[in-house]
Amino acid sequence: MTTGSGKWAAVKPVRGFRLGTAMAGISKPGRRDLVVMNWDKGSSVAGVFTLNRFCAAPVHLSRERLSGDPRYFLINTGNANAGTGEQGMAAARQTSLALATLSGVHEWQVLPFSTGVIGEPLPVNTLCAALPAALSDLQEDNWLSAAEGIMTTDTRPKGSSREFAHEGTRYTVSGISKGAGMIKPNMGTMLAYIATDAAVAPAFLQNLLLDITNQSFNRITIDGDTSTNDSFMVVATGAAGNDVITSCDSPLAGKLKENLRAVAVELARAIVRDGEGASKFVTVKVEQAASHQDALDVAYTVAHSPLVKTALYASDPNWGRILAAIGRADIPELMIDRVSIWLGDTAIVDRGQPAAGYTEEAGQKVMNQEEILIRISLGAGHCTEEIWTTDLSHGYIKINAEYRT
């Protein structure tokens, strides 16, 4: 798994799930930019996708094909195949058909995914020419190569694993993700793939995925931009040989959900830690809200404020920016005389007024840290939510200004 320092630690192989990569030269020569994933027949597959209405051609196809009997994921980086109209749809179909023909499955059993520059034609011939190499590379312990193969502006691969035991059987949950900018999943460019060797019914796996997504990838934001290509997929191979899990009413289901969530959260937080130009990892936690939506509205308003984000980058304890962001959140019943704010453990606002005893030195000490907690109490109810975000630096502007050059 990735660590706080970004160092890669081995991701555990998952029985019945294989990954292969190739250097197709889709965007840059000499780098892995094509990934194929395959799993045993009879596995269950679940997925969630971006809600951006300009979603990419591969997202359209993968949504349509998810309810069938998928056997392969086909992923390319360097080109998003988004905003490409009918040409893009034809390209996605052509590449997935090429993989299906080579591997002996039906075209609709291949789910394509793309990430990279929007609006440029997918180089179909270049991609298809590399498929045999990716297929010949399929193996269960290829997680690092696959994590590198789906990167765009990421500075490091992102992976996570968990193992747990139940009634004498060991289970594995492993996954990878990519993303560093255009990140505010709403289910920038975010892709995530998790596999487990547990046997899980497809309908229950989809329900698990929806719940886990809302606790992980739907709680991160770098810049507030929801990508055209966001996708999060989970495969359960059943290679562990357990009775098929069909509901949450069993100890095994509970353990599986706990470990799936742990992997998803770690992958989501790894995206934030690798945010474009980011120098700080920031948790925004909103407590005592009247509803979960109110808590999220306040958290995202603070996290997306350019003034708050630039203050974080400058390590400037200008807490008035946080206060102003809370005040403009879409919370009609917000009672400002009940709002309290903390930077870490340092109280800066107490029931709508400057906290007694607050000093600039205390605020500065918190803002100098690489990991910062902004805690907000609305004093209106019992709901709590937290999201993870970054600061906004010169580096973010440079990376995105020079993205295509």
Residues catalogued as catalytic: 189
Name beta bridge partners: 287.
377
Taking the C-alpha atoms of residue 13 and residue 161, their distance in angstroms, rounded to an integer, is 9
Burial class of residue 89 in the structure, from the number of CB atoms within 10 Å of its CB (0-12 exposed, 13-18 middle, 19+ buried): middle
Taking the C-alpha atoms of residue 128 and residue 99, their distance in angstroms, rounded to an integer, is 8
Terminal alpha carbon distance of the chain: 32
**Tokens 């609305």 identify what position?**
378
Name beta bridge partners: 200.
245
Evaluate whether 179 touches 154 at the Cβ level (below 8 Å). Answer: yes
**For the chain, what is the radius of gyration of the CA atoms?**
22
Query: Which candidate, 324, 360, 325, 330, places its Cα nearest to that of 343?
Result: 360
Evaluate whether 196 touches 169 at the Cβ level (below 8 Å). Answer: no
**Tokens 């011939």 identify what position?**
125
Evaluate whether 393 touches 277 at the Cβ level (below 8 Å). Answer: yes
The two three-digit tokens of residue 108, written as one number: 């609709």
**Tokens 């900018």 identify what position?**
181
Taking the C-alpha atoms of residue 95 and residue 97, their distance in angstroms, rounded to an integer, is 5
